[in-house]
Each structure stands twice: as C-alpha cells, then as structure tokens.
Amino acid sequence: MAQVECIGHILIFPYPAQGHVNSMLKLAHLLDLANFHITFFVSSTIHARLLALTDVDSGRFSPRFRLKSFPPGIYDGGIDSREGALELYHSLHTIAKPFLKQYIAHNRDSGLPFTCFISDLVLSIALEVSEQCFNLPVYYFRTIGACAFWAFFSLPDLFEAGELPIKENGMESPITKVKGMEDFLRARDLPSWCRYEEDDTARIVYTETRRAVEARALILNTFEDLEGPILSQIRTKCPKVYTIGPLHARLMATLASKSTHSNSLWQEDETCMAWLDSQEPKSVIYVSFGSISVITRQQLMEFWYGLVNSGKKFLWVMRSDLVAGKDVESPIPSELEEGTKANGYIIGWAPQEAVLDHPAVGGFLTHSGWNSTLESIAAGVPMICWPFFADQQTNSRFVGEVWKLGLDMKDVCDRSSVEKLIRELMEKRKGEFLERAENMVKLAKEAISEGGSSYCNFDCLIQDIIKLNESMSEEDTVKCAD
Ligand code: UDP
C-alpha cells in the first residue's frame, strides 16, 4: 500500500439539520479534494438517510473521507419550536459530547490523530472536548451569514441597552446597538427567539456565538463583496475570519461540473426539471420554505391563493411534514386545484441548486434560510422572503433593504399581499431586481475564482491546517496509508 504523507486529519461536526449537513459536506468535499483526511460525524438518523439517498459513501469522496455516526438517541424530532431546538441541544451535550471525547482520545493512539476540529453551531461541545483532549485546535464554521452571526453576537449589548426584550407593540422599534446595522435594523429583524421573553434559546445562541473568540478561526459561508461592512465589525472581535463562500459554487467550479452532489435528506423529485424545461425563461416562481419550517393550514391556503391568483407559473416544494395541525387532510378548494393544474407544479423535495440555476426560474419565494439565500444569490434569482425563525429574520432584512435583491414580507401572510408581491417581483420591478441579482452573481463568481477573496481565503485556511499538522509533536506526525 502506498505511503503518503498525511497533511492533516480533520474532525467535522455539523449541527444535525439539512442546511448544516449540506454546507459542511460541501466544505468536507473541498477539503477532501485538497488531500486532507476527514472524519465527519452525524446523528444515526442522518447517517442512515445520507447512505440511503446520496452517494456520500460510494465514490464521491476519496478513501480518506469517513462518515461516522454518533450512538442512537440524539433528538431527531422537529426543531421549528423552541422546545425541539432545546431538546436537540441537550441531547447533543449528553450523547455527542462524551462520545467525541472518547473518540478523540482513542484516535490519538490510532496512528491517524486529529489535527483539528471544525465545529458548527454548538461550539461549546467542541471547546470543552478540546480542552479535555490535548487542546485540539477548534475552528468555528457557522453555516449562517455574517449578518445573522453578528446580530447573534450583539444580543447581550441589546439587553444591556434596554433594546431587548422587545417591548409590547415594539416590533418596528429601531435597533441601534448592532454595530453596522444602526440605520436599518428593527426589532422584527432580530432572530425570532428575541420575540419571546424568558426564552433560553436566545441566551444559548448568543453564548455559543460569543465563544467564537475562543476558536482558532471563524469560517463563514459568505463572500467579502456581499457582507464586507459586517465582516469588518466581526473582525473587531474575531480577528481571523475565513470567508469561503458561496461554497456550493466553489465546489462546482473545482469539480468543473454544472452541479454538486446531492446531500438531500429527502428523496429529490427530478421530474420538476422537465416541467421547468417547458416554461418560458424567468417565468417561474420557485417556492420552498426549507427543511425545518412548519406552517399552519391557514398560512398554506393564503400562500396557495396568492400564487394561483398571481397567474404566474410556480414550482412549490410541499414537504410531507410542511403543514401542522389536524385539518391537514381537508379537501383543497377546486379553484386552487384548477389553478395549480394550469400554472403550478408541486413536489415533495427539489434538487434546489439545479432548480435555481434553471433558466425558467425568475423568482424564489423563500423562508430565507442562509443556504437558500446564498444559493439564490449565486444563481441570480431575486427573492420574496417570508422568514420563519432563527437567522432568517435578519437575512431577509438584508435581502430587502441592504442588497435590494428582493422583497421582505416578514410577519405578513395574506393572499392579497402574496399576490401583490409576486407581481411586483416577477412583473413590475422584474428588470430592476434581475439587474441587481446579475451584478451580485458576477461578484460571487469573482470571489470563488482564482485570485478572488473566497478562493484565497480557502487556500489560507488549508495552509493554516497544514501548518498545524506540521507543528504537531514528533510522535504525532505520522505516515498514513492511503
Ligand atoms: N433544499 C433542497 N431541496 C428542497 C428544499 C431545500 O435541496 O426542496 C436544500 C437547499 O438547497 C438548502 C437546504 O436544503 O441547501 C436548506 O437550508 P436552508 O439554510 O436554506 O434552510 P433550513 O432548511 O436550514 O431552514
């Protein structure tokens, strides 16, 4: 067996949810292509779904990549509610943390010790494990944008200044203590958790976020031309920030391919691509609320009427678990069925990157998850934003007010507003939005091309890990079998 020098062994730990796993697998793929060894940890449920639905275990990666599962028991219910999110957080601490500690310690004697740990949202686990395991260097990869990261980071300042908790009827109140956002941020643009008093989630999220200063570096899936001013603010607290996005576009360029490999945890319905092929350029509005959001039957109906009444073609991802409540199965009014037959196409899960890249797609009605936002930006597709929770409220404010790449309809959900906004995006102001979206595509492409900011930052990150590996003590420097 050929002996090749090991340039580094990286432990990657995404938060167990679709968007996080998706972008961290893309990072893992790029690091694999850069010749690192990678051990990628997911919950047992996600492990099974990735094996069943993707090629993650069959030819995509080199043999240096290993997909590993935590022991069963990590919460795998809905995380659209605070209770669900907290349950997941605690189960990661009780199951993943001790397991990782043992694994890293055991791995140290295995001949292929870890060089570093790349952790997602729950940074405290990585930092505490690292402290007990030979100070393994930790990088913090937050799969959200710089704008939401900085809003999370700033939350304690808002409490101190009395801008939080949000006052009764205070959703329009200006928020002045998030530096760099003084001119446009309102209470309603803060993460959803700020809306509830005595909520542990906001405290947990800002505590985790603030610990970023203890990481060796912060890695963000964004690019300098998109979020430069906010990144400057973040760098006053976390000097080493690698912006390396849009990762999916960088991966596509590296693979010289028109698509990346699917990391979907649901079966993708490819039939929508043929339907899109039969539509006029930029005529279709794509609708998806991501992998976590759950809406009420009432909201479903308002969106549905709005879409049908707009008269525009639409492709809608209606996950089997999208709608909550007892009356999910109630009959659909015949005018909606007819309108959908004429203008719509409904599927359970889409190959989203390919859909957004399709020439027929001219708009995206989105929940403003960061991956969806970035995928839309990289594809030059203007957005209508209906943020649901977490970082989405801040992302949508940036889309509507800062980048002006779409319309922010947060906290509104009635059929006439939906119809009006669709007409505005797809008809009245179409040219204006498309022009700005195309300009941003150019900047995104420049960022990931040779010499661009994300391209160079990724190289710097690689060099940093290689140096770490070289500086490991003599006994840890090993030759690994390929
Ligand atoms: N996605 C997909 N097909 C769908 C809907 C979503 O592949 O039908 C992918 C999408 O491309 C994105 C991820 O799922 O990468 C969702 O992540 P995001 O951060 O946008 O939202 P979340 O699901 O975390 O709320």
The mean pLDDT value of the chain amounts to: 94
Instruction: Please tell me if the CB atom of residue 349 comes closer than 6 angstroms to any atom of ligand 1.
Output: yes
Say which residues have a Cβ less than 8 Å from residue 307's Cβ, sequence separation at least 6.
285, 287, 314, 316, 339, 343, 344, 365, 418, 419, 422
CB-based burial of residue 472 (10 Å sphere; 0-12 exposed, 13-18 middle, 19+ buried)? middle
Type of residue numbered 298: Q
Per-residue pLDDT band for 133 (boundaries 50, 70, 90) equals confident
In the chain, % of residues over pLDDT 70: 96
- CB of 370 shorter than 6 A to ligand 1: yes
Residue nearest to atom 6 of ligand 1 (CA): 290
Q: Give the three-state DSSP class for 178.
A: coil
* Best of 15, 22, 357 for a ligand 1 pocket test (most atoms within 8 Å of beta carbon): 22
The answer to whether 401 and 368 are in contact (CB under 8 A) is no
Does the beta carbon of 291 lie inside 6 Å of ligand 1? yes
For residues 152 and 170, give the distance between their C-alpha atoms in angstroms, rounded to a whole number: 19
Helix (H) or strand (E) holding 32: helix 18-33
Residue 193 pLDDT:
85
Band (pLDDT 50/70/90 cuts) for residue 110 is confident
pLDDT of residue 328: 65
The backbone torsions φ and ψ at residue 142, rounded to the nearest 5 degrees and listed phi first, read -95, 125
In order, the DSSP letters of 417-472 are: HHHHHHHIIIIITHHHHHHHHHHHHHHHHHHHSTTSHHHHHHHHHHHHHHHHHHHS
Contact 452, 225 (CB under 8 A): no
19 lines ligand 1 (CB under 6 A): yes
Ligand 1 binding pocket includes 14 (Cβ within 6 Å):
no
Ligand 1 mean position, distance from CA 8 (Å): 30
Measured in Å, residue 18 CA sits from the centre of ligand 1 at 7
- Of the pLDDT bands very low, low, confident and very high (cuts 50, 70, 90), residue 311 is very high
Give the pLDDT score at 111.
83
Phi, psi of 290, rounded to the nearest 5 degrees: 75, -160
Q: How far is the CA of 390 from the centre of ligand 1 (A)?
A: 14
Q: How far, in Å, are 4, 243, 261, 281, 355 from residue 272 at the CA level?
A: 45, 33, 18, 15, 8
Distance 467 CA to ligand 1 centre (A): 34
Distance 268 CA to ligand 1 centre (A): 12
Instruction: Report the nearest-CA residue for atom 21 of ligand 1.
Output: 369
The label of the residue with tokens 């490819």 reads 270
Does residue 368 have its Cβ closer than 6 Å to ligand 1?
no
374-387 residue pLDDT tens = 999 999 999 999 99
Catalytic, out of 32, 80, 120, 464: 120
- Ligand 1 atom, smallest distance to 143 CA: 19
Name the residue of 15, 18, 149, 317 whose CB sits within 8 Å of the most ligand 1 atoms, as the mutation to test its pocket: 18
User: How many angstroms is it from 177 CA to the middle of ligand 1?
Assistant: 31
Predicted pLDDT of residue 330: 78
Distance 343 CA to ligand 1 centre (A): 24
Q: From CA 482, how far away is CA 479, in angstroms rounded? A: 9
How confident is the model at residue 479, as a pLDDT? 40
Q: Is the CB of 22 under 6 A from ligand 1?
A: yes
User: Distance (Å, rounded) from C-alpha 199 to C-alpha 194?
Assistant: 8
Question: In testing the pocket of ligand 1, which one of 15, 247, 259, 291 has its CB within 8 Å of the most ligand atoms?
Answer: 291
Among 3.30.1300.10, 3.40.50.2000, 3.90.226.10, 3.30.390.50, name the CATH number for the domain at 271-444: 3.40.50.2000
Contact between 255 and 177 (Cβ < 8 Å):
no
Q: Which of 228-237, 255-264, 311-320 has the lowest mean pLDDT?
A: 255-264
> What is the residue with the minimal CA distance to atom 5 of ligand 1?
290
Q: Is the CB of 357 under 6 A from ligand 1?
A: no
Quick one: pLDDT band at residue 102, thresholds 50, 70, 90?
very high
Tell me what percent of the chain is helix, strand and coil, each rounded to the nearest 5. 50, 15, 35
| pLDDT grade for 417, boundaries at 50, 70 and 90 | very high
Query: In the prediction, which pLDDT does 10 show?
Result: 98
Q: What is the pLDDT of residue 1?
A: 43
Which atom of ligand 1 has the smallest separation from the CA of 17? 24
Domain boundaries, the chain: 9-259+446-481, 271-444
Give pLDDT tens digits for 144-161: 999 999 999 999 999 999
Check pocket membership of 288 for ligand 1, CB cut-off 6 A. yes
Catalytic residue among 20, 29, 248, 358: 20
pLDDT of residue 326: 64
Whether 75 lines ligand 1, by a CB cut-off of 6 Å, is: no
Beta-strand runs (E) in 146-228: 217-220
Question: Is 407:384 a contact under the CB 8 Å cutoff?
Answer: yes
Q: Is 120 a catalytic residue?
A: yes
20 as an active site residue: the answer is yes
CATH 3.40.50.2000 fits 9-259+446-481, yes or no: yes
What was the pLDDT predicted at 482?
38
If phi > 0 it is left, if psi is from -120 to 50 it is alpha, else beta; for residue 145 that is beta
Residue of 79, 355, 372 best suited for mutating to test ligand 1, as the one with most atoms within 8 Å of CB: 372
Atom of ligand 1 nearest to the CA of 388: 25
pTM for the model stands at 0.96
Q: Of the candidates 239, 419, 466, which has an alpha carbon nearest to the alpha carbon of residue 314?
A: 419
pLDDT per residue as tens digits for the range 422-446: 999 999 999 999 999 999 999 999 9
pLDDT tens digits for 215-240? 999 999 999 999 999 999 999 999 99
The alpha carbon of 15 and the centre of ligand 1 are apart by a number of angstroms equal to 14
